[in-house]
Amino acid sequence: MINMTASIYLDYAATTPMDISVIEKMTDTMRNHYGNASSIHQYGRNSKKLLEHARKTVAEYINALPEEIIFTSGGTESDNTAILMGAHARSDRGRHIITTAVEHEAVLKPLKRLEAEGFEVTYLPVGITGELDFEHFKEAVRQDTILVSIMSVNNEVGTIFPIEKIGAFLSERDILFHTDAVQAFGPLKIDVKKAKIDLLSASAHKIYGPKGVGFLYKRKNIAIPSFMLGGNQERKQRAGTENLPAIVGFEQAVCHMKANRAQFNQHAVNLREQLIYELNHQAINFQINGNLSQQVPHIINLYFPNKLAEQLLIQLDLKQIAVSAGSACTAGSIKPSHVLQSMYGDQSDRLMHSIRVSMGAFTTEKDIKDFVKVLKEIV
């Protein structure tokens, strides 16, 4: 038996540990900058300076203008705002929306609400590799299509979607284009101008920042009403007092990621190669879900034919190893992964026998070796 003396965290796609520099920045802000950024006195003005500096930093990271960044409580609020408000703002032009069958629930559930209101939604399937057929996408676009919401990177399998091709195609047709970039923001270089994105959602806690803060990029001249009603914060685009410590922490996480992105990605590539090597070396029966050449390096989805994912999660957790069976936001659910369902069909054995392993900056080679040794005992 393997003697585990320390826990192993392999669920970075769900959330990342906060970087120490982020914690320090947030602590200083909570201690010394407690003024409301909407107040006109010096405490408020000092907080406003920090807020606008963070906005500028985040905007530059995606080649946006500062006034195009709306700070929110995270990816879910950003997705909901873009989809619900975007659809309602353009409902006089049509009521057809396009998305994929493998989106995060923060996209799928607002779309279900819109369907109940009379909108028509086309859910594009993905292929066995998890990739979207671009020609199939183009065929789905209609005269009454007003909104397209397609994720940049799938959160369960790690598939990268052709956002730039989609953006270029839609820009010629005046169709609102939203992308959930929560898993892409950080690992991938995003240029909203080059990709012709109208609306983009991102979250801090995927890039070693705090939970409960994110942003919605809204391209200049795109008019959608505010989702949150109340005060006039965020240029009247999002009511509610800004969470300044979290926003400053988000800014620091962006700076940290910008300086270390290439190093982080290479580290993830090395860990993924080591994981595959160790699995083969230990003669474990497994297969990879998706196409590694079209995926971000820190996420790998593994199929184990003879072991239910739920059993794997429990047994690994007892050994202090954390992995996932899909999206963390559906934790506790025993229903099959809708992502794998779209890839392999309703009856595939993979739906209930696959786990997601996601690695990050603090994952070590020893973590990978120990994880595979324990996995060998279990399977």
The pLDDT assigned to 17 comes to 97
CA–CA gap between residue 56 and residue 124 (Å, rounded)? 35
pLDDT in tens, 91-103: 999 999 999 999 9
Please determine, for residue 142, whether its predicted confidence score (pLDDT) is greater than 50: yes
For the residues 360-378, what does the mean pLDDT come to?
97
Kindly give, in sequence order, each residue whose CB lies less than 8 Å from that of residue 229, ignoring residues fewer than 6 positions away.
Answer: 239
The pLDDT assigned to 6 comes to 64
Please determine, for residue 332, whether its predicted confidence score (pLDDT) is greater than 90: no
The pLDDT assigned to 269 comes to 98
- Sorted by where each starts, the structural domains of the chain and their CATH numbers stand as 8-18+261-378 (3.90.1150.10), 20-255 (3.40.640.10)
Q: Which of 41-55, 314-328, 341-355, 360-374 has the lowest mean pLDDT?
A: 314-328
pLDDT in tens, 196-240: 999 999 999 999 999 999 999 999 999 999 999 999 999 899 999
Please determine, for residue 4, whether its predicted confidence score (pLDDT) is greater than 50: no
For the residues 68-82, what does the mean pLDDT come to?
98
pLDDT in tens, 8-39: 999 999 999 999 999 999 999 999 999 999 99
pLDDT in tens, 98-119: 999 999 999 999 999 999 999 9
CA–CA gap between residue 9 and residue 76 (Å, rounded)? 24
Residue 3 confidence class, pLDDT cut points 50, 70, 90: very low
pLDDT in tens, 31-72: 999 999 999 999 999 999 999 999 999 999 999 999 999 999
The pLDDT assigned to 147 comes to 98
Mean of the per-residue pLDDT values of the chain: 95
Residue 1 confidence class, pLDDT cut points 50, 70, 90: very low
pTM of the prediction?
0.95
Kindly give, in sequence order, each residue whose CB lies less than 8 Å from that of residue 137, ignoring residues fewer than 6 positions away.
Answer: 98, 124, 150, 166, 169
In percent, the amount of the chain with pLDDT more than 70 equals 96
Q: Are 206 and 183 in contact (CB under 8 A)?
A: yes
Could you give the residue numbers annotated as active site? Answer: 329
pLDDT in tens, 259-276: 999 999 999 999 999 999
